Amino acid sequence: MGHRVTSADIPANGEQLPKSKVGLVMMVCGAVALAGLIASAFFLWGGADKPTELRGNFAFSWLFAVFYFFTIALGGCFWTLLHNVSNSGWGTSVRRLMENVGFVFPFMFVFAIPLLFPSVQTYLFEWMTEHKTAIQYAKDHGLEDTSAVAGLEARAAKHDGMLIAKNWYLSLEFWHARFVIFFLGLGFVIWKLRKLSVDQDTCSSPGTTRLFKARAMSSWGIAVFAVTLTFIAVDWVMGLDYTWFSTMWGVYIFAGSALNSMAVILIASILLRKAGFLKNVVTKEHDHIMGKLIFAFTIFWAYISFSQFFLYWYANVTEETRYFILRNTECWNILSYVLVFGHFGAPFLLLLRSDLKKKNNFMIAIAGYLLFMHFLDVYHMIIPERGPSVGNVVSHDPKLWMGGAWIGDLIAFVIVGCGFVFFLLRNITSVSLYPHRDPRILESANVHN
Amino acid sequence: MSTTVKRVYGYLAEFESASKLYKAAEKVRDAGFQKWDCHSSYPIHGLDDAMGIKRSVLPYFVFFGGLTGFLTAISLAYITQVEIYPTVVQGKPANIFTIPAFFPIMFELTVLFSGFTVLFGLLGLMQLPRLNHPLFASKQFARATDDGFFISIEARDPKFSAEGTKALLNEIGGANIELVEDEN
């Protein structure tokens, strides 16, 4: 039996990670992210009228990198909301980490801005191009109504019927409105929740008021989260091919997102403890619980992604199979197999044992491994669309693979990743490491499972 | 008057509350007893550590139970659908690439066999079902399902002694200490 943590062990003003400890990392990451963002935005801007392969490839790279780190930030929002709404006690001592990961989300808007450039949308979203040319068509033919629908109806080209039917959702105005609403809605929720939690740190009479307020807010906030995650996934990734649809898409993204943000939270908590922080309140029991959540979501991810594949494979309906036909062709098929065994098989078997979940070095390795698998998973979602899409836009010659484009993927990944790390460290260093005046901090510190 | 010698099961002692039971359990554990148990009407967090119970071997049984189910499913589906009666359904090939169709079976049988191993392994390790238990001879033991907290130390334990164990139970705060004997 270990030492029982009492309020005497909790410093009255909390623990803080001094900025000086991570100052250098933050500065380097911030500089790389800022310089990279400006250079990339400059590169991606312009050239809408004269598309080039290089720009098109990098547009996909950028979407890939942004989406990868978005899923992790969104997962942080999810864990915060879930912790509040389920009235949990176990994780109060790591809740601030969840909030800090989640609060990266609103800052990520700056990295999403290039997706608003028409020159980027040309390569990514074919339906936008179709809408724009339909509007132009309506103008050129002197139609009274110069909306996209009128143009599509008048033009009546292949697939236009589908675009007309989907117009209520896939229209330029609504897409851009949603883009902003995602950030405002969930950004407000996570900002407010973190503020409630942070304000308590300096409150002289911390009671349960903020706890109840946070729970009440999370009860509708979790719906905001669900809608945001689902429709970001639909708008940015499923929209790459407007003829395809999957009703499981949102859950699929959610599974990977919750899994990998828990991996990030676990890594952060272990590294902080190695540096001598959080020691009073985070124990092996927390490692075990977080390990179990990672294990559970590994299975959930496999369950959802297999179900999506399985239904399409079995039903074999032409409109639905395109996604998997592309991804089961040649080299992409190898990646699909890697995901089956690497994203599910290996971590499933490794995480079965309970004693390994309490070994910090092992868990850092496996969490890092899972983040790499998530890299491949997001790659598998987005990048196979690049060859057909960019090839078509640039030279009307759809390809399967763009040679050398992976360099751009890595560059974009490093830039956005540095931004993610910068904002995460900024969040962590700006407030206490754990909510030391939360009424449930002792319950969490002494948790036993 | 009967002079038959009755078989002694062990000592039973009552404790006031869950926390007293917990403290007492730590002391019995430290005294080195092996065959003893705590009785409470609800689960007490951390009591297994206080009693010094080792991890059960059940998870290992379950792993192999699940593995058996998994292999059974693969063989069952593959041998019947591919080897013996190759069946073309929905234009799908009848070879190893039909395997996605077998996944639900593999999943279900893994879960089913794991579940069975949990249930029957648990019953086996707990030596259940049984018709009676010597402790039921004690009148006060009925309260273990209501508001009683008990510790029982079996006479089979090598450290057991009629005087010493009673003194220990007394010392750690046990009340109503009773020597439980087999009925008849």
DSSP assignment of A12-67 equals TT-----HHHHHHHHHHHHHHHHHHHHHHHHHHSS-SSS--HHHHHHHHHHHHHHH
Strand B36-39's sheet: what is its strand order?
B36-39, B149-154, B8-15, B175-181
Instruction: Please tell me which of the candidates A309, A310, A448 has its beta carbon nearest to residue B45.
Output: A448
| Mean pLDDT, rounded, for A110-118 | 90
User: If you count residue pairs, one on A and one on B, with CB atoms under 8 Å apart, how many are there?
Assistant: 21
Is B184 at the interface with chain A, CB within 8 A? Answer: no
Query: CA-to-CA distance for A100 and A120, rounded, in angstroms?
Result: 30
Q: Given CA atoms A295, A297, A298, A299 in this order, what sign does their dihedral have?
A: positive
Torsion of CA B121, B125, B130, B134, to 10 degrees: -170
CB contacts, 8 Å: B46 with chain A: 1, 448
- Binary contact (A309, B100; C-beta < 8 A): yes
Q: Which of A1, A314, A354 sits opposite B90 (nearest CB)?
A: A314
Is A168 within 8 Å of chain B by CB?
no
Spatial CA neighbour of B50 closest among B27, B32, B34 = B27
Question: For residue range B11-44, what is the model confidence (pLDDT) as tens digits?
Answer: 999 999 999 999 999 999 999 999 999 999 999 9
Give yes or no for residue B2 having a pLDDT over 80. Answer: no
How far, in Å, CA of A80 to CA of A98, rounded? Answer: 6
Residues of A185-205 as b/e, b for ≥16 C-beta within 10 angstroms?
A: bbbebbeebbebbbebbeeee
At residue A48, does pLDDT exceed 70? no
Q: Cβ contacts (< 8 Å) between A354 and chain B: which residues?
A: 59
**pLDDT-wise least confident of A154-168, A348-362, B55-69:** A154-168
Strands (E), chain B: 8-15, 36-39, 149-154, 175-181
Residue corresponding to tokens 């192999």: B64
| Pick from B49, B63, B103: CB nearest A306 | B103
Instruction: Indicate the pLDDT class of residue A322, thresholds 50, 70 and 90.
Output: confident
- The answer to whether B45 contacts chain A (CB < 8 Å) is yes
Domain layout of chain A by residue ranges: 14-141+172-433
Q: Which of A42-46, A66-70, B43-47, B125-129 has the lowest mean pLDDT?
A: A42-46
Percent pLDDT > 90 in chain A is 50
H helix runs in A202-248, sequence order: 209-236
> Which residues in chain A are contacts of B104 at CB distance < 8 A?
310
- pLDDT exceeds cutoff 90 at A404: no
**Residues on chain B touching A299 (C-beta within 8 angstroms):** none
Instruction: Please check the confidence at residue A1 and state whether its pLDDT lies above 50.
Output: no
pLDDT tens digits along B174-184: 999 999 988 76
Please give the mean pLDDT across all residues of chain B.
90
Nearest C-alpha in B relative to A316: B90
Residue B49 near chain A (CB below 8 Å): yes
User: Is this model's pTM higher than 0.80 or not?
Assistant: yes
Report the distance separating Cα A150 and Cα A143, nearest Å: 8
- The residue with tokens 């002692």 is B13
pLDDT grade for A331, boundaries at 50, 70 and 90: confident
Please answer yes or no on whether B91 and A316 come within 8 Å at the CB atom.
Answer: yes
A316 touches chain B (CB under 8 A): yes
In this prediction, residue B123 carries a pLDDT of 95
